[in-house]
Chain A
């Protein structure tokens, strides 16, 4: 059963169309991420599901009920804020118990539920601590416990790990995944961090300029990006524009730098220009004299398990190439033979291109 359905949702602030015609379905028990650069509308989308914003048009439905006119405090959702927002005048126990006390549950039940959820987030024994005495990671786990203890239909998380250092982020990513599996709660997770979204999500939506560019599993999004924005935002890629030479038995054939490429033809015809995404790891460094083209390294980036090269071809085009670091890496100025299999690229629709954030 679908927990959340957004249909044709728009949000306009003044003359700004922040969210534009968003359609989205999140299934029960799913870990779903909204991924995009800052200002793409992902947080506004989340706040409309939470009830902190009202859609300008379109419907927000939670578990089959239209929620547009339901105020935030009557919705079966709970939100984990980017800035945690733990109440500084309450201790850990009272922070977590806040929602339960509002429901006027008996004291013993509140105590049991708070104890159980603190166990889930590995904070047993911290009940009487003040919020200010906790580390950033502990505070974030209290924030998650405070939301989860209310057993929401959907837990909404707004970049909850953004303020933490990298090591803690990685640790809490695994923790969040574990908590999500243990409780079976539907999670909607907003992030601008593509690695985070890929590693945690069952499915994700990439947003850009208020619109959803693509929805799919992490593997689908990486291996079969639908648009130039998705291809360049998730991982790195080489964007290639080329004209189709000919179409045979459902495959469109074309070439880049003289090397053949082919994509499923579907509705394509010879002479049309298409855009392709060629991932850096699909380009191979080959033995001298093997089939391929020569290219010169202009920049080599050693990344541990892999090496990332920027290479210039004879026609002065730059290609990004990524290979396993299983031999001495090439140095700046060195030349090498490179090539790729004909099915190495995928056809994409041209939208905008994500700026390189690294």
Chain B
């Protein structure tokens, strides 16, 4: 920089002494992300909408709600939707239940080395390819896999069916989504000062009462955020239920895939929209619960 007058740091972008208007700066910050995420999303939504209403009229069936009627009138679709919701729901509850104590333990770890090890262990599922991870679980959980052999040696029991059913699907889903559950819970826990715990103990509470009446309510927002993320991820999971379900556990995402394979794009679009709306509805309910707990705090 030269000259006697002070030049603002924004000089390369603007005339000397002037900065870009606020809206331009905001647009530059938001723009790249917006184009990458929001536009394709809405574009895809519009496309899905047109397909589901048969606006392209590829099969000469006529435009309108006929595909939606087909979906709604077929009980099979509803039972598969229920599979998706049930698997996602159970995975969410199990993940959060497993993640909460993990987060509570990580909060108390003092050793940096152990903390680093714990984080690596926690995130290891995300470092593996989804397909090889699923096959790994197949090997572990199959009738003569490691888990059943160990159980047989220890307790002399017959193999328990752990693959090609919901149990295996849920185990594998929980494995991969667990880190997404631990992080928001841990984050909320670090924001609750230990003095609340001390205060509750001082007022006569037992350890369990402190958890039930103070720690859990104060960390509930983190639990809800975790549940939202986990539900969205597991409701839309495709590879894990396909491979570990072995075709016997059908979820809506698999129906979408099959229909696309059969060039039934209209029905695939209907099913994709149903899956999305279902996930959004669950998120909406969870968000309402979250608001209610916040409201109780402020009013």
Contact = CB atoms under 8 A, between A and B. Distances in A.
A79 interface: yes
B202 A89 contact: no
Contacts of B205: 73, 98, 102
B195 A102 contact: no
Contacts of B213: 98
A78 B297 contact: no
Contact of A83 (B195, B203, B297): B195
A79 B199 contact: yes
B195 to A, nearest CB: 4
B299 interface: yes
Interface string B211-241: 0011001100000000000000000000000
A98 B217 contact: no
A190 to B, nearest CB: 15
A145 to B, nearest CB: 12
A72 B201 contact: yes
A223 B63 CA distance: 99
Contacts of A50: 202
B204 A81 contact: no
B193 interface: yes
A130 interface: yes
A89 B214 CA distance: 8
B196 interface: yes
Contacts of B198: 52, 72, 79, 81, 85
A89 B218 contact: yes
Interface string B185-214: 000000001011011111111100100011
Nearest to B192: A88
A72 B205 CA distance: 9
Contacts, number: 66
Contacts of A133: 298
A132 B293 CA distance: 14
B296 interface: yes
Interface in A300-348: none
Contacts of B298: 130, 132-133
Contacts of A132: 297-298
A260 interface: no
Given A81-B195, A81-B199, A85-B196, A73 B206 contact: yes
B214 A87 contact: yes
Q: Would you call the interface of chain B mostly helix, strand, loop, or mixed?
A: helix
B195 A103 contact: no
Most buried by A among B203, B206, B209: B203
A37 interface: no
A83 B218 contact: no
A209 interface: no
A73 B204 contact: yes
Contacts of B218: 87-89
A98 B297 contact: no
A58 interface: no
Most buried by B among A51, A74, A89, A102: A89
A73 B193 CA distance: 19
B293 A98 contact: no
A50 B195 CA distance: 13
Nearest to B217: A89
B297 A102 contact: no
Contact of A88 (B200, B201, B202, B297): B297
B244 to A, nearest CB: 40
Contact of B196 (A77, A87, A130): A87
A99 interface: yes
Interface string B256-299: 00000000000000000000000000000000000001001111
A150 interface: yes
A87 B205 CA distance: 13
Nearest to B220: A89
Nearest to B299: A130
A146 interface: yes
Contacts of B214: 87
Contacts of A71: 201
B200 to A, nearest CB: 7
B297 A150 contact: no
